Copies of this chain bind each other. A is one copy, B any other.
């Protein structure tokens, strides 16, 4: 079994804000991430799939097709968007990197072909902070 990883990017705005809480409590918990007028990031997304290479191609999976699946179901829906306002699959969720990584997994899973298995989603919010989700 081999593991194949593809890196994709998106740039987005968001804020961390729990509407059940007062502004004071939000600022207390989320600090400047609760800024009412949003902030944003260059997100870097690593998607890993695993399985057996195909003997005819030597490929586990055509990385161009993997890239196309990630773009269609994830990054084109997130790039140059407001994660809290514009993204159907983040509606009614706290917009943390943790929840975003889990939602990206759920977006990808139905579109991964049967010959491979989705193994990991790794999402950098900044070069110094990242979250990984393995579906478990």
Contacts and interface: CB of A to CB of B under 8 A. Distances in A.
A85 B42 CA distance: 20
Contact of A40 (B31, B40, B131): B40
A127 B7 contact: yes
Contact of A13 (B13, B126, B127): B13
Contacts of A55: 94
A4 B126 CA distance: 12
B1 A58 contact: no
Contact of A58 (B31, B64, B81, B96): B96
A59 B16 CA distance: 10
Interface of A: 1-9, 11-14, 16, 18, 20-21, 29-33, 35, 37-42, 48, 53, 55-60, 62-64, 79-82, 85-86, 93-99, 101-102, 126-134, 136
8 contacts: A3-B132, A6-B128, A12-B39, A13-B38, A16-B58, A32-B79, A38-B82, A55-B94
